[in-house]
Amino acid sequence: DTEVTQTPKHLVMGMTNKKSLKCEQHMGHRAMYWYKQKAKKPPELMFVYSYEKLSINESVPSRFSPECPNSSLLNLHLHALQPEDSALYLCASSQYNTGHLLTEQYFGPGTRLTVT
Amino acid sequence: AQSVTQLGSHVSVSEGALVLLRCNYSSSVPPYLFWYVQYPNQGLQLLLKYTTGATLVKGINGFEAEFKKSETSFHLTKPSAHMSDAAEYFCARYGNNRLAFGKGNQVVVIP
């Protein structure tokens, strides 16, 4: 199974709402990632978890709160978002080699988020 | 900063013609390079990767890329374009514990 699943597929939320994005993989990968992708742009790294610990936070605003409850699950909690946060949010996973995260990343299909 | 450069955001190719997407990297050390494809409303899928060893790398869907250190390039090619190749293509390099993506090429296949 080389699949990364993400739910929901689409999400529309108001600026005062609280919502969560979910990501799951069963490949035994110990590194998981959140990316944000605006239309016609490359993905931008937001967070990296390795062995369920946050290892990289790319100075993401606190209205985005990641969580890694176990090695297969990754959540992104959303609160008080702005319209400019509307984007495709991609989750990815990879194996983790000591000292670096080099192996190919497997991406999920993404959650299309619209903030109204 | 170590990065990759993709020129020409839109690439039009006739069905059956050669697909050539250019990627140049800037690095003072041997890079780890990847090509990803993104179909509309989908996530990214790995086409191929170069880490060490053979400089001609074969990937999925008939794509291949050649690592040329002298030219700091990792261009992606496919001998004969198919309508199903219409997608966004990203070159990426690994460094500093993360992938750095190029700006991408939108490939349009003309029947």
Which residues 42-61 of B are in CB contact (within 8 Å) with A? 42-46, 49, 51
**In angstroms, rounded to a whole number, what is the distance separating the alpha carbons of residues B61 and B68?**
22
Q: Does A27 touch chain B (CB under 8 A)?
A: no
The tokens describing B57, both together, are 């790398």
**In angstroms, rounded to a whole number, what is the distance separating the alpha carbons of residues A23 and B80?**
36
Write out pLDDT tens, residues A5-55. 999 999 999 999 999 999 999 999 999 999 999 998 999 999 999 999 999
For residue B34, the chain A residues in CB contact (below 8 A) are 104
- Quick one: pLDDT at residue B53? 80
**Which residues contact residue B85 at a Cβ distance below 8 angstroms, ignoring those fewer than 6 apart?**
B13, B19, B61, B78, B107, B109
B102 in helix, strand or coil?
A: coil
Q: Which of B44, B94, B98 sits opposite A107 (nearest CB)?
A: B44
Burial A13-23 (b: 16+ CB within 10 A, else e): beeeeebebbb
Across chain A, mean pLDDT equals 92
The rounded Cα A66 to chain-centroid distance in angstroms is 8
Find tokens 């992708």 and name the residue: A37
Q: Is the pLDDT of residue A97 over 70?
A: no
Strand partners, A75: A22, A67
**In angstroms, rounded to a whole number, what is the distance separating the alpha carbons of residues B74 and B65?**
6
The tokens describing A85, both together, are 């946060």
* B43/A107 touch (CB, cutoff 8 Å), yes or no: yes
For residue B48, the chain A residues in CB contact (below 8 A) are none
* A56/B97 touch (CB, cutoff 8 Å), yes or no: yes
The pLDDT of A67-74, averaged and rounded, is 95
Please name the residue of chain B whose CA is at the shortest distance from the CA of residue A50: B97
How many C-beta atoms surround the C-beta of residue B71 within 10 A?
Answer: 11
Confidence of residue A99 (pLDDT cuts 50, 70, 90): low
**Which residues contact residue B60 at a Cβ distance below 8 angstroms, ignoring those fewer than 6 apart?**
B45, B46, B47, B48
Q: Which residue has the higher pLDDT, A42 or B52?
A: A42
A59 in helix, strand or coil?
A: coil
Strand partners, B64: B58, B77
Confidence of residue A74 (pLDDT cuts 50, 70, 90): very high
* Beta strands A10-13 and A111-115, pairing class: parallel
Q: Is the pLDDT of residue A2 over 90?
A: no
The pLDDT of A98-112, averaged and rounded, is 78
Our CA-based measurement puts residue B45 at a distance from the nearest CA of chain A, in whole angstroms, of 7
Q: Is the pLDDT of residue B27 over 80?
A: no
Burial class (CB in 10 A: 0-12, 13-18, 19+), B105: buried
Percentage of the residues of chain B whose pLDDT score is greater than 90: 71
Please name the residue of chain A whose CA is at the shortest distance from the CA of residue B41: A109
- Quick one: pLDDT at residue A22? 98
- Quick one: pLDDT at residue B3? 85
Q: How many interface pairs between A and B have CB atoms less than 8 angstroms apart?
A: 51
Our CA-based measurement puts residue A89 at a distance from the nearest CA of chain B, in whole angstroms, of 9
Our CA-based measurement puts residue B3 at a distance from the nearest CA of chain A, in whole angstroms, of 13
Q: Does A110 touch chain B (CB under 8 A)?
A: yes
Q: Is the pLDDT of residue A1 over 70?
A: no
Q: Is the pLDDT of residue B83 over 60?
A: yes
